[in-house]
Chains A and B, each alone.
Chain A
Amino acid sequence: MIQQGHDDARIFDQGYRPFEGQLASVSTRFWVITANELRHALREKWFRRLLWASFMPLIVFAVLVVVRSRFAQLFDNADFEIWMPFWGMQLFFAMIAVFFIGRRAIGEDLRSRALDVYFSRPVSFFQYLFGKWLAVALGVVGVTLLPGLVLALFRWLAEPDTHIADFAAWSASFLVLAALLALSMGWIMLAVSSLATRGRAAGIVWVALFFLSAGLAEALVHATGFSQFDALGFSKSNTALAEFLFKGTGSIDLAAVWIGGQLVWAAAAFGLVLLRLRRWARV
């Protein structure tokens, strides 16, 4: 505020004055939380490097696509399958992205009593949870769906025998896989974070859970021969579903089991978060 008593002697009042600007709608407050989480994650140089690195497979496979289309005679009888190795790599990047974005999401808020900061503002409990989950989900989508769509588009443009129907099918597959991954990984990470108040501990548990659940599922499938056990690992069932969508292995019933497996993981993790934060659930 400027008080003009004299042209040469303006006094800048640093006292308190009411805010007279416009306030946004209450319904979009979750986005503030999401943006803040992503801003924090992007401050870490290793996360920024991960984002760059997650596009490396895209470049490698794009080169392969070009080479194959230019020298088609060399690959005549070869089974040119790029989606499964590509998705496997992106899945790994998704695991690390979730580690960076989600490990401190709720646990550190509990430790620093930041929930009092959020819930003394016009923010509801579910806006808070959705905002946190969306940050993790966007990280997953950023390193899986985005490169996947770009590669699918590139194949459609670069390969003469690829049609728009192929591009649409691949895009839809990536969309389903990334959405399931965002749901399961997002809520599992938030559940882990809400149980371990230290970010580092939550990160270690997350990585352990990722590999152990996949290892357990793999071992049970090998021991029993039942592919349904893939559903026990949230990443394993996603990979199995990717095989069904891209290669056509398995049946529609098995695909339903793998989808169900991921949804059960997400629902259980969501329930755990609600249980941990039940005190705030009515805010």
Chain B
Amino acid sequence: MCSGALAATLRRVIIICESLGHSFGRLRALKGVSCEIASGCTGLLGPNGAGKSTLIKCLLGQLRPRGRISVLDADPAVEPLRVRQRVGYMPEADVYLHGSSGLDMCAMCGQLSGMRRADAVSRAHEVLNYVGMGEARYREVDGYSTGMRQRIKLACALVHGPRILLLDEPTTGLDPSGREEMLQIVDDVAHRRGMDVLFSSHILRDIEQTCDRVVVLNEGQLIFSGSLADFQQEESSLLHVRVKDGRERMARVLIDKGCQVDSLEGAEHLAVKLPEGATPELIFRSAIDQGLQVRQLVPATLSLEQAFEKAIIGAVEGGPAK
């Protein structure tokens, strides 16, 4: 069994949502969202107003949605304190404790999670080192820059050693280097420190860089839930074919056999859409007949932007995709 398949087998479900719905007055923020989120780093993707933050607040027990929800086998609506004990949350909004230094705020968060004062202060120093807060930790949070506040929020989310980290737009307002550092930290806790991460963002590249799985929401509906690779997978009949010396000849032969062939400008491969009922065998046979060598035959993948755009358009035209 390859390591990827093994990892997939070992993944356990940490969050379950069943027919989740929530409204703010007449605005329906979540419309029957059902999904399972496995351990690892999962991206929560969607345009502004898609319901990402609402879903996270439901997971924390701050909102009481319709439907069923389970976080680490506990229902946040019934046992919110138990859930919050095991979850670290980095909110999107600019939140801080007025008049506190970064160290105080972080230690206070540790204490609120049940740590003794001495443990909380010591632990706060550790996580502040980890997120790259230097001497600024002794200054009042009120005077921090946006980047520093993002770091302090992340440190506060990590201080009590949560099992799941919920990040709501963690790169908002960061400059390119700050964003890169934030993504590195997220990648580190998710892939090397064994923490499960739910990373909410509307920035596709952030998700692509850090997550292995993705949950896509649009206008409160679930569009997709699964691996990032599956999300980017083009429909199965579209294949990328690369042949040795004879790209044009191969294209002509495949067109004669009823395939739709797009010889992409500047690309080495052909984008081939097989006719109804045909299998990739057709490509190999055609190559043998023409004395050509197939160097690569892979299912076509989309960039995350293309996949996202396609999913959103698909959802608008025909309801939730999958």
Interface residues of A, Cβ cutoff 8 Å to B: 14-26, 29, 32-33, 36, 40, 104, 108-109, 111-114, 116-124, 282-283
Contacts and interface: CB of A to CB of B under 8 A. Distances in A.
Given A16-B188, A19-B161, A117-B156, A29 B94 contact: no
Interface in B90-115: 91, 93-100, 105, 108-109, 111-115
A112 B98 contact: yes
Interface string B11-41: 0000000000000000000000000000000
Interface in B76-99: 80-82, 84-85, 87, 89, 91, 93-99
A24 B96 contact: no
A29 B114 contact: yes
B322 interface: no
B193 A15 contact: yes
Contacts of A104: 98-99
B97 A114 contact: yes
Contacts of B119: 19, 21
B213 interface: no
Contacts of A14: 126, 129-130
B97 A23 contact: no
A168 to B, nearest CB: 37
A108 to B, nearest CB: 4
Contacts of B85: 23, 26, 122
Given A19-B161, A122-B114, A117 B98 contact: no
Contacts of B98: 104, 108-109, 111-112, 114
Q: How large is the interface on B (under 10, 10 to 19, 20 to 34, 35 or more residues)?
A: 35 or more
Given A23-B85, A32-B112, A113 B188 contact: no
A120 B161 contact: no
A20 B81 CA distance: 19
Nearest to B118: A21
Contact of B114 (A24, A33, A108): A24
B95 A113 contact: yes
23 contacts: A16-B193, A17-B126, A18-B194, A19-B123, A19-B159, A19-B160, A21-B116, A23-B114, A23-B160, A26-B85, A32-B111, A104-B98, A104-B99, A108-B98, A109-B97, A112-B96, A119-B60, A120-B89, A121-B109, A123-B81, A123-B112, A124-B81, A283-B61
Contact of A119 (B62, B100, B127, B156): B62
Contact of B96 (A21, A26, A117): A117
B161 A20 contact: yes
A266 B200 CA distance: 43
A26 B114 contact: yes
Given A116-B95, A120-B91, A122-B85, A283 B62 contact: yes
B127 A117 contact: no
B179 interface: no
Given A17-B193, A23-B115, A24-B114, 15 more contacts: A14-B129, A16-B127, A16-B158, A16-B193, A19-B160, A21-B123, A32-B108, A32-B111, A36-B108, A112-B96, A113-B91, A117-B112, A121-B84, A123-B84, A283-B80
Given A16-B158, A19-B160, A283-B61, A24 B97 contact: no
A264 to B, nearest CB: 31
B193 A29 contact: no
Contacts of B189: 16
Contacts of A118: 112
A282 B126 CA distance: 34
Contacts of B97: 36, 109, 112, 114, 117
